[in-house]
Chains A and B, each alone.
Chain A
Amino acid sequence: MGGGHHHRLFRHGDTAVHRLPPQCKLVAVAAFAVVVVATPREAFWAFAVHAALLAAVAAAARVPAGFVLRRMAVEVPFVLFAVALPVIGLGERVQVLGLSLSVAGLWAAWNILAKATLGVVASILLAATTEPRMLLLGAQRLRLPSLLVQIAMFMLRYMDVILDEARRMRVARESRGFAARDLRQAPVLARSAGALFIRSYERGERVHLAMLSRGYTGEMPVIHDLRATARDWRTAAVLPAAALAAAALSWSLL
């Protein structure tokens, strides 16, 4: 049950950001996301401040910009939606480069793009500087139900195993000349999914029995003592506090 499969998400390092207790980072990122969502969209400069704050965190954690940019690909579907907004939006229209665009739609597109991007970058930085297991232990310290934390831990541990099984099935299918062209090929995919479910479920039963034989009683022992000092909390609070200051200033200026 080794951890180390998450090289794609986590970047090893020994910076001040990496060393912060995970619960502090979780609270900081969540608070930052809330502040970003609450910032009025007319305050362009406030969003610039938010972005500069994230850039400072990335620099402190020595996370290269290329790494963050590559992982930002998850945002693409909503970027496409945001680009469509000015075209299909309602209300007053304005001519830009020969296109008739909705003013409210432009505002909404900017709003979603800016806030979603800041949120995504904050999450990427969190995942890049915190081991997934530690992040979940931090969530447990924040009183997330321990059963939920355990489920998430098992999922993280076995995700790569199950994904590998799915990949092997795909290789087997394709090496026999299978290509999913339309819905007629659905039965083959569905049988793969069925087989994958049976394998996952049976693996779960084996894991449970193996754990029982090692004295599992329904609670996982906590080995790491994740205590956060007041100093840790103060360090973590710098990000949301600075963002809040910018947001508060933009509220008062409106």
Chain B
Amino acid sequence: MHVPDGFFDAAVSLAAGGVAAAGVAVCLRNARRELDDRTAPMAGLVAAFVFAVQMLNFPVAAGTSGHLLGGTLAAVLVGPYTAVLCVAVVLLVQGFFFADGGLTALGVNITLMAIVTAAVGWAVFRLVLRVVPRRSAVPMAAFAGAVVSVPAAALAFTLLFWIGGTAPIDVGAVAAAMGGVHVLIGIGEGLITALTVSSVLAVRPDLVHGARGLTAPLVLRTAGGETAVAATEEPARKKAGLRPLLAGGALVALVLAGFVSFYASSSPDGLEKVAGDKGLNAQERDHPLGGSPFADYGVKGVGNERLAVGLAGVAGVAITVAAGGAIFTAVRRRSRDGEQAKA
């Protein structure tokens, strides 16, 4: 999914660069709060781990294999801020040293693969855990997070492609193809993520950032048969409040924006215009996301298109900011609550 140079026009590349820089700056501040002066070595080693895990190929179906993106896995294991930093550094290193992914597309790559996957994956993960706050639910939550995060990144890619892609493919086809393929990849990603998290949870539950506060308290048994429960490291979460709703709402908004905007601006003549692509459309119908509004959709008519593109730009930025902001404030407040309760 590494986007090369020349795939997006200069405006989108620059805008995505701005979004990526802002996101990384936020994560730098908060990761320092999470890890203190351990940030550099720990995040560096986890980045090396993400790099190694991306080389782990797993067979998806006959003949094809996929590899882990690792955004959600890193978010569950070390926390969302550190995860964004790790994946962003992996992408930087891949871009500059391995020529994998274009230098002008670095902003797009970091936005899609580091920020969107980690933020969406972490939001879904927290949401599932909020419904089922048990340690045994952590792998399941990680599965859900990873499954949603990969198609979400693909959808974000489609949105960017719609605004400033250079290839003349109709956006519906891109959405269907990207969505369909990435739902499959997402299932593989989710499976591996869940199994990896559960194996770490079995050996070193203290290392799983997403399972903090869910581990059973330490029980001390003396020789005399008395038992005492040790104080838990982190107090149980109070004040669940509005936050899961906010995070969930932002996520739903993101998904809806993808779908609804396609409905909103599809014009009737799009159906005839893509008749030449019948073979392609027939294939896309097999995809889980390849419903008819996607497969036969095409943006036609200049005025309409400009309006739609402008709206999409505003909506895309607003949604990204809203989703990111909601998740970041939710997590930051929670950690502050924890600190105050400890003090």
Chain A residues with a Cβ under 8 A of chain B: 6, 9, 29-30, 33-34, 36-38, 71-72, 74-75, 78, 85, 88-91, 93, 102, 104-105, 107-109, 111-112, 114-116, 118-124, 126-127, 132, 135, 145, 147-148, 150-159, 161-163, 165-166, 180-183, 185-187, 189-198, 200-201, 203-205, 207-208, 211, 216-218, 220
Contact = CB atoms under 8 A, between A and B. Distances in A.
Nearest to B102: A119
B267 interface: no
Contacts of B49: 162, 196-197, 200-201
A163 B276 CA distance: 47
A198 B200 contact: yes
Contact of A33 (B102, B192, B280): B102
Contacts of B120: none
A105 B31 CA distance: 44
Nearest to B51: A159
B83 to A, nearest CB: 12
A207 B7 CA distance: 40
A115 B327 CA distance: 37
B43 A116 contact: no
Contact of A88 (B5, B25, B169): B169
B44 A201 contact: no
Given A36-B5, A161-B48, A154 B41 contact: yes
A254 B158 CA distance: 30
Nearest to B274: A90
Given A29-B103, A116-B5, A192-B56, A152 B195 contact: no
Contacts of B41: 154, 204, 207-208, 211
Given A30-B103, A181-B59, A189-B56, A112 B4 contact: yes
Interface string B19-53: 00000110010011000011111111111110111
Nearest to A109: B167
Interface stretch (B92-100, B245-253, B316-324): B92-100
B339 interface: no
Nearest to B204: A198
Pick the most buried of B85, B103, B280: most chain A CB atoms within 10 A of its CB. Answer: B103
B92 A152 contact: yes
A148 B7 contact: no
A105 B167 CA distance: 7
Contacts of A91: 168
The 10 A-B pairs at the shortest CB distance, nearest first, are namely A154-B44, A115-B6, A190-B195, A119-B5, A194-B199, A204-B45, A116-B4, A104-B168, A150-B40, A123-B99
A147 B39 contact: yes
29 contacts: A36-B6, A75-B4, A85-B167, A85-B169, A105-B168, A105-B169, A111-B166, A112-B167, A115-B4, A116-B6, A123-B96, A126-B96, A132-B97, A147-B31, A151-B44, A152-B92, A155-B51, A159-B52, A163-B51, A182-B59, A186-B195, A190-B199, A191-B199, A194-B196, A198-B203, A200-B49, A205-B38, A208-B37, A218-B37
